[in-house]
Amino acid sequence: MKEKYPLMTVVDEKGTLVSEHYQSEVKEEQVKTFYYNMLRLRTYDKKGKALQRQGRIGTYVPFEGQEASQVGSALALNEEDWMFPTYRDHGATLTFGADLDRLLLHWNGRVEGCVPSLTKKIFPAAIPIATQLPHATGAAMAEVYKGTNNCSIVYFGDGATSEGDFHEGMNIASVFKAPVVFFNQNNGYAISVPIEKQMNSETIAQKAVSYGIPGIRVDGMDVFAVYLAVKEALDRARRGEGPTLIEAVTMRFGPHTTADDPTKYRDQEKIDEKRERLDPLSRVERLMKNLNMWDKDWIKNMEDEIETELNNAIDRMEAFEKPNPADMFDYVFEEPTWTIAEQKEALLGRIG
């Protein structure tokens, strides 16, 4: 079945253009845009992990290794499109225009972080698995009814394909030709469960056959391939030809979350060995050097700019008043039930 769904690659691990069809798409300005966004996300992700280890934010969800999938897909969108992320797609939301301060407040437990942006159509990150797929389909259908040319993209992991919402969202979208891109980041693990233990099909892309829509497999470590695959799927959706399922084959270099120990369920040493060869950021670096686009001064200025931006945002986050955990009980029902009131009282008793 993998032969029917070949892996689309534009730039290989050595930073070499391997697709003549897309050679004209790789321009210096675009290459530098990809690199800037990926470096910004890599720096942000490292700071997120450090902040959690220092006790300055709560549990953090790292995405190192998946930057190409998130940057390439987000940059393919139009300004008025919709984005439906999971808890691991804060890189995509930042690239699309989410507010950095709000994103940091999200990890710090502030309610302001529940709204990623006041200007972009970005849904709050979905913590339950696959629930955002029907939402994305509905938003895309609403845009059709309103007569716009806007689309939705919805992110989900390989584990989400085992959920009913995945199939419901895909089925409704296919029936109504909703302009939505189903963007799967297949990093091989649903937390600790390897993909071969959760499905019998060789690929995720082939699941599109059940719904009569295109299914595409793309090298999720290649930002150029991801960008072009998503752009083509969005163009198709804007023409009224319906949804597309894209499987971006990628890797999660680190743990599922900062509360996870990946060494319990996989050989982390093998993952670390692959990191240098497969790292999506290094792939763009190699391409830039191969094409004589590498500029040390530009890189240094960019690194300093990103570092300053992130440090200033962290300072603003930490200037906020600490969140009150008891607030989570106050906005569930108009009048709290006795069970909620009892839980709130118990919590207040523990925290004084």
- In this prediction, residue 107 has a pLDDT band, given cuts at 50, 70 and 90, of very high
Phi-psi region of 186 (alpha: psi -120 to 50; beta: other; left: phi over 0): beta
In this structure, which long-range contacts are made by residues 142-151, counting pairs with CB atoms below 8 Å and at least 24 apart in sequence?
Answer: 143/82, 143/179, 144/176, 144/178, 144/179, 148/80, 149/238, 150/78, 150/80, 150/81, 150/82, 150/179, 151/77, 151/78, 151/81, 151/82, 151/179, 151/180, 151/181, 151/234, 151/237, 151/238
Domains in the chain, number: 2
Is the domain of 339 the same as that of 286? Answer: no
pLDDT tens-digit map of 318-341 = 999 988 888 889 888 889 899 999
- Asked if 17 contacts 26 with a C-beta cutoff of 8 angstroms, the reply is yes
Average of per-residue pLDDT across 32-39: 97
In-domain check, residue 198? yes
Q: Could you read off the pLDDT of 242-281 as tens digits, one per residue?
A: 999 999 999 999 999 999 999 999 999 899 889 989 999 9
Is residue 2 in some structural domain? no
Residue 74 lies in a domain: yes
**Mean pLDDT along residues 20-26:** 78
Task: Provide the H-helix boundaries in 13-121.
Answer: 28-53, 67-75, 90-96, 100-107
Q: Within this chain, do residues 249 and 348 fall inside the same structural domain, yes or no?
A: no
Percent of the chain with pLDDT strictly greater than 70: 99
| Residue 315 pLDDT greater than 80, yes or no | yes
- Same domain, residue pair 275 and 330: no
Q: Are 297 and 189 in a shared domain?
A: yes
Confirm whether 227 is a catalytic residue.
no
Active-site residue among 252, 283, 286, 316?
252
Alpha helices, H only, 242-337? 268-278, 280-290, 296-319
* First-to-last C-alpha distance (Å) of the chain: 59
The answer to whether position 21 is within a domain reads yes
Q: For residue 240, give its domain range.
A: 7-321
pLDDT at 22 over 80: no
Residue whose C-alpha is closest to residue 134's, from 177, 171, 88, 91: 171
Residues 154 and 201 in one domain: yes
- Residues belonging to the chain: 352
Q: Please check whether residues 107 and 194 belong to one and the same domain.
A: yes
Residue 280 and residue 343 in one domain: no
Does the annotation count 256 as an active-site position?
A: yes
Q: Is residue 1 in a domain?
A: no
**Region 94-102: what's the mean pLDDT?**
97
State the average pLDDT for the chain.
95
Q: Are residues 13 and 75 in the same domain?
A: yes
109: phi > 0 → left, psi -120 to 50 → alpha, else beta; which?
left
239 in the same domain as 339: no
The string of pLDDT tens digits covering residues 110-120 is: 989 989 999 99
Both 336 and 278 in one domain: the answer is no
Residue 189 near residue 195 (C-beta atoms within 8 A): yes
State the helix-helix crossing angle for 280-290 and 28-53, rounded to 10 degrees.
150
Q: At what angle do helices 280-290 and 223-238 cross, to 10 degrees?
A: 100
- Contact yes or no for 68/75 (Cβ under 8 A): no
In whole angstroms, what is the distance from residue 62 CA to residue 41 CA? 10
Question: For residue 34, which amino acid is it?
Answer: F
From the list 56, 135, 167, 265, the catalytic residue is 265
Query: Phi then psi for 156, rounded to 5 degrees?
Result: -165, 155
Going by C-alpha positions, the residue among 47, 46, 39 that lies closest to residue 315 is 47
Residue 334 covered by a domain: yes
Give the CA distances from residue 144 to residues 174, 180, 192, 280, 291, in Å, rounded to whole numbers and listed in that order: 14, 11, 39, 35, 42
Query: CA 233 to CA 180: how far, in whole Å?
Result: 9
CB atoms inside a 10 Å sphere around CB 24? 7
Q: Which two tokens stand for residue 36?
A: 């800037």
Confidence band for 352, pLDDT divided at 50, 70 and 90 = low
Q: Which of 88, 236, 256, 283 is catalytic?
A: 256
Across the range 126-150, mean pLDDT stands at 97
CATH number, domain with residue 158:
3.40.50.970
Q: What is the mean pLDDT of residues 11-35?
A: 89
Owner of token pair 């962290």: 314
Question: Is the same domain home to 245 and 338?
Answer: no
* Nearest Cα residue to 178 out of 121, 239, 243: 243
- Tell me if 224 sits within 8 A of 34, measured CB to CB: yes
Q: What is the pLDDT of residues 171-224, one digit of tens each?
A: 999 999 999 999 999 999 999 999 999 999 999 999 999 999 999 999 999 999
* Domain-located, residue 278: yes
Residue 116 and residue 243 in one domain: yes
